[in-house]
Structure 1
């Protein structure tokens, strides 16, 4: 708890740092402008708590609203340029979403590694964001970039990257209940760069796990602080490894589950006598809530709710029985949220007609082979998250060594000038509710 409000001091410190780096040509002018806080709009971050209703005792997750904080623009800029590199270099151990996990597990089964004895293990890191040692996290950030061959990122030296990352971590102050707090451990959950830094910290921590899994051919994948892995040795050996992993770092503690049937993200995975069965997983405490049909949203939003729910069901369900169960769940959830049955039927028909022969009288999947064909086709198509990650990885090294001020400024100017001017007088705006 701080006795005085340090906002003006932090704002001045950030502005002076950016001006100094720009003056010494350590960052380009356009980069300085992009990271510079707005004096009139900057405010202290404020703290709030989100309840984890799906967990016993309903613990809360502390979130900092850092939108107007003095260091937010630096955080966003660092996240923008370094997350690209992380996505590019760490794709083999990163789980993007449930569909990407299933793709990797199908590759695992095709190699003949999935057996009757195969165990699933999931574990999550307790309070990862808020437990990162700040100095060590900065060391690992620079190590990560060096290991992957970087001496500069977008023309910025690694020493300067560290200086910028340091001010984001160290000048993290927020308001809660009329008191001002300074965070001295970890990063702000709510800061964009904190996520990337946590991912890079885990890149270093998980190396021993990845090495062991690679040797045995087992699967290892991570979604931020949640890990999924397969295991074909004894359960006692696995539990001993996990207990040992809890001693690898004083701040990194994991909570694990081992079973032949476990949920991960929104997928339920089961080893049924050597056969991988999958379906959509709904947390027990989660209510069947979707965007209410009575809400004031554009019409296409309601269509997308139905289409994306069905697409997820087809991707995740490995059997027709599991799909039919999920289909009924979707119908009930839509009715519960006020969707007319005629609208639901029409959207279901629209979805199935895209995959069923036009000679079919009714758009109904009643054949296991027909469903599995549909399942494989949809699973092979990238989800939005997968497409975004692929694009991010492809962009990692584009213009990475760009140091020409004029070229960068002209790009920004061109992008701005190319945007069509918006004239409200030329538009017809229709507002309606359902």
Structure 2
């Protein structure tokens, strides 16, 4: 039933599920910009939904599901199950949710298991809005579920520049879409380098270079990110030879025959590199 419920939700909201996170986000938004869908005063809006497994009361969940099914399920059934039967099954499931705490058994009346579609543990979303911030907030406040029992469930950011996971994306006053890697200084100032085993570092260097190309919209931003990557690895004790060799191998993998002495790219070579990586992403999607 989960795939069917997802398809109904996606149709009702024009929602695009992005399985590859940041890579898919920048790909979709860049495509929208190329198609002329982004107006000069476009705003980006990001939502970060917190721990929903213990927040939403079951009655609110049931009311929302009922509305979704009755308004957007055209034939009023899913896989030979009527809407009433589906709602009865969900209601039965909620009534049989229990948890153990301090050797005592409790019935759960908010949320549910983290793997359930109706109680997703954490979700993020980004949308574009062609209007003012006040217009969006007015619309959102009219249609949003009451937050009386769900404080701090949603963190929302609105602006011409926002960050989504590890991506910062902007739409400038002259109508140019720009993007780069975003770092949260409160989490990790050197997040390019993790505590993985030494033998995985070459793969990790390749991965952060790959991410840099996908996130950075132009060569200037990429070269700045490239310098930061090198500093990160040097700070963690890796040699310049290891870093430069890894960068050179990465370039050669995508048809850029650069030596480590010329690791900073020019516009035309970066454009070629980014096209190759976009093609690589598209091929991976087709194979799934």
1:100 aligns with 2:24: yes
User: Deviation of residue 167 (structure 1)?
Assistant: 4.2
- Secondary structure of 2:25 counterpart: helix
Match of 1:192 among 105, 111, 115: 115
Asked whether the 8 Å contact 1:99–1:383 carries over to 2, the reply is no
Distance 1:342 1:161 in 2: 62
Match of 2:78 in 1: 150
Distance 2:4 2:242 in 1: 41
Distance 1:356 1:275 in 2: 28
- Say how many residue pairs are matched: 273
Asked whether the 8 Å contact 1:268–1:280 carries over to 2, the reply is yes
Question: What stretches of structure 1 of length at least 5 have no aligned partner?
Answer: 1-80, 200-222, 392-434
Pair 248,167 (structure 1): closer, same or farther in 2 beyond 3 Å? closer
Pair 381,304 (structure 1): closer, same or farther in 2 beyond 3 Å? same
1:240 aligns with 2:168: no
Asked whether the 8 Å contact 1:137–1:197 carries over to 2, the reply is yes
Match of 1:82 in 2: 2
Pair 192,126 (structure 1): closer, same or farther in 2 beyond 3 Å? closer
Match of 1:307 among 206, 213, 228: 206
1:175 aligns with 2:92: no
User: Deviation of residue 246 (structure 1)?
Assistant: 3.8
Match of 1:332 in 2: 231
Match of 1:284 in 2: 185
Match of 2:123 in 1: 225
Distance 2:148 2:58 in 1: 14
Asked whether the 8 Å contact 1:123–1:255 carries over to 2, the reply is yes
- Secondary structure of 2:187 counterpart: coil
Match of 1:351 in 2: 250
**Higher Cα Rg: structure 1 or 2?**
1
- Secondary structure of 1:257 counterpart: strand
Match of 1:114 in 2: 38
Pair 262,249 (structure 1): closer, same or farther in 2 beyond 3 Å? same
1:130 aligns with 2:30: no
Instruction: Encode CA deviations 1:218-253: one digit per residue, 9 max, x unaligned.
Output: xxxxx9532322222223212222332445575565
- Secondary structure of 2:18 counterpart: coil
Asked whether the 8 Å contact 1:263–1:281 carries over to 2, the reply is yes
User: Deviation of residue 186 (structure 1)?
Assistant: 0.7
The answer to which of 133-142 and 362-371 deviates more is 133-142
User: Deviation of residue 138 (structure 1)?
Assistant: 5.7
Equivalent residues in 2 for 1:355-366, closer than 5 Å:
355-358=254-257, 360-362=258-260, 364-366=263-265
Match of 2:166 among 262, 266, 272: 266
The TM-score, its normalising length taken from structure 1, stands at: 0.53
- Secondary structure of 2:40 counterpart: coil
Question: What stretches of structure 2 of length at least 5 have no aligned partner?
Answer: none
User: Deviation of residue 84 (structure 1)?
Assistant: 8.1
The TM-score, its normalising length taken from structure 2, stands at: 0.76
Distance 1:116 1:335 in 2: 41
Runs of 4+ in 1 over 4 A off after TM superposition: 138-146, 157-169, 178-182, 247-253, 360-363
Pair 243,136 (structure 1): closer, same or farther in 2 beyond 3 Å? closer
User: Deviation of residue 115 (structure 1)?
Assistant: 3.2
User: Deviation of residue 169 (structure 1)?
Assistant: 7.3
